[in-house]
């Protein structure tokens, strides 16, 4: 039976411009969603923006406007980016949406048996929006390594979630792959992190320290901790608790997050779900970080890569290609304009663009554009499908390129243009030429099918050109060569 599926992405803070790291979340989720839909499943795909917390409040203050006015003006950059990368999301949530806020207040009430009041004295990183233990703060010499900012010393009354009550259940769920953390080494890393148990989590802040958040029901002096608010989006966006349709989709099949926020998704979030009596998500796809030229992207260094610029210069399919294949799905990756452009010119323009143009050209020339009986592509794609199931999208698209290369090789070896010269002179030549061209079309259609999740526009183009029985000419070159960032002295000038 075709099941209803649900995939989620981390909701970014809207206190800056989107960068390629944010786009990666959307892209990975989109590849999975398109693959599942291609296989006949209905997929719900959530995205959204995280709009509360100190970080946002501080930015709004800098801009001299109210936080809500600030997020109204910035969230749209993220939604536009989702559209621009071609993400086929079905739902978009802002944590400032009234439905979300009311639902989170309901969640708070429902978690009451596990909430208690206590006082906190210790360290907080505004960048992470997280409390850190004395041990961690000392190990990092008082400065958060991810945000390069000193921890703040806090002393305040907070509400706590008794996450410790769920240590055994959460540990067991992760160990047994009930929540399957992909890749396996992240699962081990997380189990190691919680080997002494889950710690209770502070889930509110006094209003005087944090005014920009969802009010705690029944306590006008307290505001909810931004992670409790943000994690809830995964269920509020599908209608929890008031629209029963959420039950058709929860538990999520896959939740896509970066490694920096795995601990919230593998610890606090399952504890919240257990406290609510809800099922645990099935898989957590933990991707790595993208660096730029070997260093972490940072505004100070000035090496932040804007996805909009990449897409404007090279097109969305080139963007999707590089980030799905050359950024390893489950490990850290690196972006440079040179690497990007070289992959574009050699692998998209040369390998893929050429073979499409070449086969279409030969059929037009030798068969007046008429495509004969096309055999099914016969390439064994088990490795591709296994990689897709294992959430190793980079490996899956590698398989497609192996196939593209072998098709190019086949054409080089068989030399249809030589066979064409023999047509009318040798009796077998015409049939042989047709067979070669039809085999090539069969392979290209299969390549088109396999590219649907990755490069939807190119896949559609391949299908349009080759699937109707006669060649449908394309407008322009598929991937015109671009030399803007090359270091090759022999390359043509841009």
Q: Using CA atoms, how far apart are residues 390 and 77, in angstroms rounded to an integer?
A: 31
* Window of 186-194, 227-235, 433-441, 444-452 that interacts with ligand MSP by CB under 6 A: 227-235
Cβ at position 224, least distance to ligand MSP in Å: 13
**Residues in 98-127 that interact with ligand MSP by CB under 6 A:** none
482 Rama class: left (phi>0) / alpha (psi -120 to 50) / beta: beta
DSSP secondary structure letters along 387-451: HHHTT-HHHHHHHHHHHHHHHHHHHHHH-HHHHHHHBTTBTTHHHHHHHHHHHHHHHHHHHHHHH
* Interaction of residue 50 with ligand MSP, rule CB under 6 A: yes
* Interaction of residue 11 with ligand MSP, rule CB under 6 A: yes
Q: Give the per-residue contact string, 176-195, with ligand MSP (x = CB under 6 A; - = no).
A: --------------------
Q: Using CA atoms, how far apart are residues 43 and 47, in angstroms rounded to an integer?
A: 13
- Tell me the two tokens of residue 366: 């030798």
Closer residue to ligand MSP in complex, CB, 131/479: 131
Q: Which residues contact 89 (CB under 8 A, 6 or more apart)?
A: 9, 26, 29, 30, 33, 45, 46, 47, 82
**Residues in 288-347 that interact with ligand MSP by CB under 6 A:** 289-290, 297
Closer residue to ligand MSP in complex, CB, 272/374: 272
* Window of 257-265, 397-405, 469-477, 481-489 that interacts with ligand MSP by CB under 6 A: 257-265
* Interaction of residue 21 with ligand MSP, rule CB under 6 A: yes
- Binding ligand MSP (rule: CB under 6 A), the pick from 150, 206, 251, 258 is 258
Residue with tokens 């839909």: 37
Closer residue to ligand MSP in complex, CB, 80/487: 80
Closer residue to ligand MSP in complex, CB, 28/462: 28
* Window of 8-16, 36-44, 83-91, 427-435 that interacts with ligand MSP by CB under 6 A: 8-16
Closer residue to ligand MSP in complex, CB, 24/444: 24
For residue 102, count CB atoms less than 10 angstroms from its CB and return exposed for 0-12, middle for 13-18, buried for 19 or more.
middle
Could you give the 3-state DSSP secondary structure of residue 482?
A: coil
Residue numbers annotated as active site: 19, 22, 125, 128, 144, 147, 296, 299
Number of residues that bind ligand MSP (CB under 6 A): 19
- Return the closest-CA partner of residue 88 out of 36, 30, 24, 44: 30
- Tell me the two tokens of residue 402: 């192996």
Cβ at position 24, least distance to ligand MSP in Å: 5
* Interaction of residue 12 with ligand MSP, rule CB under 6 A: yes
Cβ at position 2, least distance to ligand MSP in Å: 28
Angle between helices 456-466 and 316-325 (to 10 degrees): 110
Peptide bond into 8 cis (omega under 30): no
Q: Using CA atoms, how far apart are residues 363 and 368, in angstroms rounded to an integer?
A: 6
Chain positions contacting ligand MSP, by CB under 6 A = 10-13, 21-22, 24-25, 50, 230-231, 233, 257-258, 260-261, 289-290, 297
């Amino acid at each position: 039976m075709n099941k209803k599926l649900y995939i989620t992405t981390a909701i970014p803070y809207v206190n800056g411009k989107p960068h390629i790291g944010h786009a990666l979340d959307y892209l990975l989720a989109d590849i999975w969603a398109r693959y599942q839909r291609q296989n006949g499943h209905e997929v719900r795909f959530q995205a959204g923006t995280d709009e509360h917390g100190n970080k946002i409040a501080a930015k709004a203050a800098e801009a001299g406007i109210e936080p809500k006015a600030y997020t109204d003006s910035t969230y749209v950059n993220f939604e536009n980016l989702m559209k621009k990368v071609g993400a086929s999301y079905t739902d978009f949530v802002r944590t400032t949406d009234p439905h979300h806020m009311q639902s989170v207040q309901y969640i708070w009430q429902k978690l009451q048996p596990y909430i208690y009041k206590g006082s906190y004295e210790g360290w907080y990183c505004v960048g992470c929006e997280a409390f850190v233990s004395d041990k961690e703060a000392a190990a990092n010499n008082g400065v958060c390594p991810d945000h390069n900012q000193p921890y703040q010393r806090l002393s305040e009354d907070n509400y706590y979630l008794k996450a410790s009550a769920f240590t055994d259940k959460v540990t067991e769920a992760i160990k047994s792959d009930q929540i399957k953390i992909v890749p396996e080494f992240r699962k081990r890393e997380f189990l190691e992190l919680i080997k002494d148990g889950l710690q209770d989590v502070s889930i509110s802040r006094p209003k005087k320290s944090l005014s920009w958040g969802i009010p705690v029901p029944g306590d006008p002096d307290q505001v909810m901790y931004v992670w409790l608010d943000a994690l809830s989006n995964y269920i509020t966006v599908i209608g929890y608790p008031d629209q029963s349709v959420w039950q058709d989709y929860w538990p999520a099949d896959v939740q896509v997050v970066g490694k920096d926020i795995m601990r919230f998704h593998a610890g606090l979030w399952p504890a919240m779900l257990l406290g609510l009596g809800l099922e645990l998500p099935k898989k957590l796809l933990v991707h790595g970080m993208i660096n730029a030229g070997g260093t972490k992207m940072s505004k100070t260094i000035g090496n932040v890569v804007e996805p909009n610029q990449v897409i404007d210069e090279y097109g969305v399919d080139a963007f999707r290609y590089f980030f799905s294949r050359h950024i390893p799905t489950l490990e850290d990756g690196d972006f440079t304009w040179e690497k990007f452009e070289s992959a574009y010119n050699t692998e998209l323009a040369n390998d893929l663009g050429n073979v499409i143009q070449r086969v279409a050209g030969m059929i037009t020339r030798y068969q007046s554009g008429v495509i004969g009986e096309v055999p099914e592509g016969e390439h064994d794609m088990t490795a591709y499908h296994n990689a897709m199931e294992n959430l190793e999208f980079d490996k899956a698209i590698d398989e497609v390129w192996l196939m593209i290369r072998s098709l190019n090789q086949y054409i080089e070896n068989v030399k249809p243009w030589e066979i064409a010269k023999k047509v009318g002179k040798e009796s077998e030549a015409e049939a042989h030429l047709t067979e070669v061209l039809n085999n090539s079309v069969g392979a290209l259609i299969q390549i088109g099918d396999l590219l649907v999740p990755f490069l939807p526009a190119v896949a559609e183009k391949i299908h349009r050109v080759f699937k109707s029985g006669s060649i449908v000419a394309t407008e322009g070159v598929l991937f015109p060569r671009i030399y803007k960032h090359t270091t090759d002295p022999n390359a043509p000038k841009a």
